[in-house]
Amino acid sequence: MANIGAQNDSLDVEKLYVSGIQHLRIDPVKSYDNFEKALSIVNDSILKKDKNNHHFLLRKALILDRLGFYYRKNTDYTNSLNCLQQSLTIKETIGETESISLTYSYLGSLYLRKNDRERAIKFLNKAMGFAEKYNHDEIPYILNLYSNCYSTFKDYEKGKIYALKAYKHSDSINDIKEKTYALTLLSRYSQKNTDYNASIEYSSRALKLAIASGDIIFIELCNKELGYAYRKLEEPKKALDYYLKSLELSKKIGFKNRIANRYLSVSNAYTDLNEHETAFYYYRLYKRQQIKNLNIKNIRDFAELDADYKYKREKLKDSLLFVQEKKLSEAKIETLSAENRIKKQWMLFGGIGLLVLFSIIYLIRLQKFATSKQKLQQQFSQDLINEQEKERSRLARELHDSIGQKLIFLSKQTKHLGDEHMENIADSTLDEIRSISRGLHPSNLERLGLTEAINALVYKINANTDLFFTDEIENIDNVLPKESELHLYRIIQETLSNIVKHSEAKAIKMNINKTPSGINVMISDNGKGFDFQAKYKTMSLGLKTLLERAKIIDANIHFDSQISNGTNMKLNIPIQS
């Protein structure tokens, strides 16, 4: 009876899995439901009947792969990572080699979405290694992911090379899906080169393939790419037609992030057609979908959005009348105020003229003295920090060039003498000296540049802690003077260090973006938070140093923290024209 039950479960799982695969790119929501049902049956069978059944374990891993794909497409990165890690563990345990390349490629794509280039490339390299050895059919997909990866990090030439390789390979094995994917990537590269006619040609070819295979995900994407190209060619009506098709398909697919982006595309198309009311309607839908996706303060934000919308409509109707009435009222008020001021001046001038004069002189001198004192204190603090950095740099060089070289010589001598114990002591001491040297002065800043130095700092925290790190870091190299780059690096380093040491947080989010007017840095955590006002009054050394470094580079720094509600640090650095 147990064997019959296991066979029935296996048949049910197989039907649901095959159905899920068939609907994966035709009806993603139905595909997700089938995979969830299949996973429930597999878990029940493993738990109650056969914990070591190789077939059920492998099928569970493959289902988890597909669920990880769905969650990633729906921007639920936490669940996606959880599914893919479980799948990888199962496959490594049972020695599965043929399908493990798919898991690695999905992990690479996931970390690409998180802008973690190093991990994305690492997993894609593993995927390619297994695919070349055990599963050649996965190679076109991995080549497309390489292309997407290099495109994301703005290496368009290299990305285009991989897209062409993917197209050639998929064409040779008649892989319609990956051939379509490669064409959409080539369309984007044409857009980057402002060759929008070529983009339309690639997207049209991709659309024909997607329609023939019934791939609704690529049909939606091709419509969006065609809309973008026609908009750039200043054909807004065609662009709108394709954007509307893309919007309807994205609603059917159910990927929330795409729905929001398509609302924005439609709004832009209506703006190009000067249909501003309709454009604002779709922009409002875009903002609502964004808020819904974030799932933060939905009701309040929706109410504010509605109020803002009504206010703008009323303001549009009444603006001319309002401006006229306002000017008239201001003129009357100004006339009455002028007459009143003249009367008061004549009445009070003789009595308080001298008092006012002496008061002004006293206040000016007092203000000058206070300003001078504040500038001196500020200059002293800044000079102290700058000298501290110079001394740190000098000590780091001394440790590296003098003590470090001697320890290297000592290590070689002990190795030559065969004293393994002394060799280990020398090597560990050398590692400690190097670590201290790096702590005193960030050599990565000079070798790699500011952006990569910050990435290295993030990677180090990711590798050595259990914190879940989400980061979006734009390239900010050579935007600031070298001295300002060092202070910015120190501010980020100190902030992250404080989070690791004191916040008890589980996750950190960091955004660094560049605008024409400046650089914006935002670091937030979900830790225990602190009372900023109390901290500010006592002015701890760490907080004072952060504030002084911000002043040195003419930056505005702001902390928002409450007990049990985490901490949010915002830094704005103006760019000197």
Enter the DSSP assignment of 448. Answer: T
pLDDT at 311: 45
pLDDT at 391: 63
pLDDT at 306: 37
pLDDT at 575: 83
Q: How confident is the model over 444-466, as pLDDT tens digits?
A: 677 778 888 888 888 888 888 88
Distance CA 56, CA 14 (A): 10
Where the chain has pLDDT below 50, the residues are 1-2, 4-5, 295-313, 316-323
Contact 540, 481 (CB under 8 A): no
pLDDT at 199: 92
Residues in the chain: 577
507-515 and 468-473 strand pairing: parallel
Taking alpha carbons only, the member of 172, 139, 143, 183 closest to residue 159 is 143
pLDDT at 451: 87
pLDDT at 104: 92
Taking alpha carbons only, the member of 491, 411, 480 closest to residue 449 is 480
Q: Compute, in degrees rounded to 10, the torsion defined by CA atoms 276, 282, 285, 291.
A: -80
Sketch out the chain's domains with CATH numbers. Answer: 1-96 (1.25.40), 175-275 (1.25.40.10), 306-439 (no CATH), 447-574 (3.30.565.10)
pLDDT at 513: 92
pLDDT at 222: 93
Tell me if the pTM is above 0.85: no
